[in-house]
Amino acid sequence: MQGTQGNELEVLLSAEEIAGRVGMMGKRITLDYENKPLILIGILKGSFMFLADLIRQIDLPISIDFMALSSYGSSTKSSGVVRIIKDLDYSLEGHHVLVVEDIVDTGLTLNYIYGHIKSRGALSVKICSLLDKPGRRQVAVPLHYKGFEIPDEFVVGYGLDVNEKYRNLPDVCRLVRNTDE
């Protein structure tokens, strides 16, 4: 598949595969959180599409909130620097929290978020990530709900970007050749 902006892309996970898996995750979460006040926290920007699809598969009264952190910027290499750009709008007290992430790579971002959210008085904090690249992990983070394990390759689409491009692709694609670098 040839990207529209000069980069070469190959489909790794199709929209149909993603929808099937997200449906299963939503059903599991529905069973696990029945009668528990639940807030899902989306980590911007990459998780917005996954969060939007996931919450429509959760048959419970839920709330959502968002956090934004510094991540890759314009490069495909992790800087390891984590900084809060947008913090939570609501208190977490009296709620169970599910952190919704697009992808766990080194684990540095989620490790930071997990500690930050756990200090905010939630009844419980669990992590849900669509994608997991276990081969690149530097810090162990508990992944309670996981969509797919993928190889150590840079991916775009379904919310994930390179230099802010490709977030609108319906599939998760490998970036075979990045002409922007």
Which residues are tagged catalytic?
105
Query: Among residues 7, 71, 99, 100, which is the contact residue for ligand 5GP, using CB under 6 A?
Result: 71
Query: 18 and 171 in contact (C-beta within 8 Å)?
Result: yes
Q: Which residues pair with 62 in a beta bridge?
A: 38
Write the CB contacts of 48 (distance below 8 Å, at least 6 apart in sequence).
42, 159
| 99/130 Cα distance (integer angstroms) | 11
Task: Give yes or no for residue 78 binding ligand 5GP (CB under 6 A).
Answer: yes
132 binds ligand 5GP (CB under 6 A): no
Whose tokens are 């508990």? That residue is 142
Residues numbered 35 to 64 that lie near ligand 5GP (CB under 6 A) are: 46
Q: Which of residues 106-125 bind ligand 5GP (CB under 6 A)?
A: 106-110
Q: Which is nearer to ligand 5GP, 33 or 54 (CB)?
A: 54
Q: What are phi and psi of 18, to 5 degrees?
A: -65, -45
What residues line the site for ligand 5GP (CB under 6 A)?
A: 46, 71-72, 78, 101-110, 154-156, 160-162
